[in-house]
Amino acid sequence: MKKSGSQESQSPSHLIDARIKELGDWRGKLLSRLRTLVKEADPEVVEEWKWRGVPVWSHDGLICTGETYKNVVKMTFAKGAALNDPSGLFNSSLDGNTRRAIDFHEGEKIDEEALKTLVRAAVTRNKPTA
């Protein structure tokens, strides 16, 4: 990503906007849609920018990331192994004890309701216990 001024002085939301625009292809459109779905699932979500350019969504802890690669947009759920996934969205990073991911390829349809349910489950999982 090209730097226009210090990235540290820009809000995470602005940096995510810039990444989406910079991609300029199906990956940017998909990342934008995934971002919208995360925000719809949890209107109180906090956007962050970590690890030198990875969009992150948090609420009482990390929910998921939105990574972009040449042939895939990957949503990695920090505590995905502990989440119920009745729709079978997780299709990547299945061997680990903690995280799980969803790889989206160009042209694939998103099960939007199932994804929002998964995001809400991750938010619930992060809630502090009394």
pLDDT digits (tens, 9 = 90+) for 90-125: 999 888 899 999 999 999 999 999 999 999 999 999
Tally of domains within the chain: 1
Does residue 5 fall inside a structural domain? no
- pTM for the structure as a whole: 0.89
- For residue 110, what is the domain's CATH number? 3.90.1150.200
Domain of residue 98 covers: 11-125
Comparing C-alpha atoms, which of 17, 15, 21 is closest to residue 50?
15
Average pLDDT, the chain: 91
* CA-based R_g, the chain, Å: 14
Does residue 130 fall inside a structural domain? no
Give me the amino acid identity at 19. Answer: R
The DSSP 8-state label assigned to residue 92 in this structure reads: B
Comparing C-alpha atoms, which of 62, 49, 35 is closest to residue 116?
35
Does residue 6 fall inside a structural domain? no
Does residue 54 fall inside a structural domain? yes
What's the confidence (pLDDT) of residue 129?
A: 75
Does residue 20 fall inside a structural domain? yes
Query: What is the C-alpha to C-alpha distance for residues 81 and 98, in angstroms, rounded to an integer?
Result: 5
pLDDT category of residue 2 using cuts at 50, 70 and 90: very low
Does residue 67 fall inside a structural domain? yes
Query: What is the C-alpha to C-alpha distance for residues 105 and 86, in angstroms, rounded to an integer?
Result: 21
